[in-house]
Amino acid sequence: MERCVVGTRRPCASEVAVKGKDVPTVWFPSIATMAAVLSEDNRELLRIIRDTKPKTLTELAALSGWQVPNLSRTLRMMTGYGLVELKRNVREIEPITLPTEFLVVLG
């Protein structure tokens, strides 16, 4: 996936059919949550993964300057939103970015 359309909706909100060409594929419970998940640091991390294609979290930590525990926690959170896939190899975990571009739909 290259482009990801993101939107916000309250978890208790009734399911309302969203129509149009830019229907969100990733939903966040609030704008604050979306801003935290798609922060500049996290988007930079996604760019590093996309451009360098690291094979392990240790390699990604060296490239990004993040510590492995913080990196692991952030990537698991991003996995929950469908932004990253963590592919388990024999003894390592390979991070793979899914979207590389975001369109935010508010309304």
- DSSP letter assigned to residue 24: -
pLDDT at residue 105, as a whole number = 82
- Residue 3: pLDDT band (50, 70, 90) is confident
**pTM (2 d.p.):** 0.82
Strand partners, 103: 5
* Domains of the chain by residue range: 3-105
Give the number of other CB atoms < 10 A from CB of residue 104: 16
Domain 3-105 sits in CATH at 1.10.10.10
pLDDT digits (tens, 9 = 90+) for 29-54: 989 999 999 999 999 999 999 999 99
Q: What is the mean pLDDT of residues 87-94?
A: 90
